[in-house]
Amino acid sequence: MASKLAVRFSGDLLIQLSSAVCPGGSTDPGSSFSLALITANQSADEQIGQKLAQVDSPAAYVALPYPASLLGRVVYFRGLGERDQWLVRLTYAVTGLVVQPVQGTLLLEAPDGDEITSVEVQGAGEISWQVWGQLA
């Protein structure tokens, strides 16, 4: 059966000297890195997430609404406040619980056979999040 969703993520990360360091301009081309998902994660059966959600749980984890049948292949999480600090607790099918501190953006691709089965967060502020993968 063909996947229901096509997923595209592309762009470049460019790191080079700032104009404050080289006011007259720099001949340094910098370092460029391509941003892309591995091929297996460019399609999915299901996705869940929210473009904007308010979380107020600075002392305890709160579960994000995640269907039990979703085996997550990719997690996108972003704390929308510049100074907000989050703990993102991921449950993997094999590895179990992993806590990832986040300030800003997290984009994570799970290993084959060790998909994500739940996502919980601890912190306070606005977030954006998305998980996609295959149905169990």
Q: What is the CATH number of the domain that holds 123?
A: 2.60.120
> Which of 13-17, 69-73, 102-106 bottoms out in mean pLDDT, i.e. has the lowest?
13-17
* SS3 call for 112: coil
Q: What is the pLDDT of residue 3?
A: 80
What Rg, from alpha-carbon coordinates, does the chain have?
Answer: 18
Q: What is the pLDDT of residue 24?
A: 65
Q: Residue 105's domain spans which residues?
A: 5-135
| Share of the chain residues as helix, strand and coil, in percent rounded to the nearest 5 | 0, 60, 35
pLDDT mean over 3-13: 87
Q: Is the CB of residue 132 less than 8 Å from the CB of residue 71?
A: no
Instruction: Compute the distance between CA of residue 27 and CA of residue 65 in angstroms, rounded to an integer.
Output: 49
> What's the number of domains the chain is made of?
1
Who has greater pLDDT, 85 or 22?
A: 85
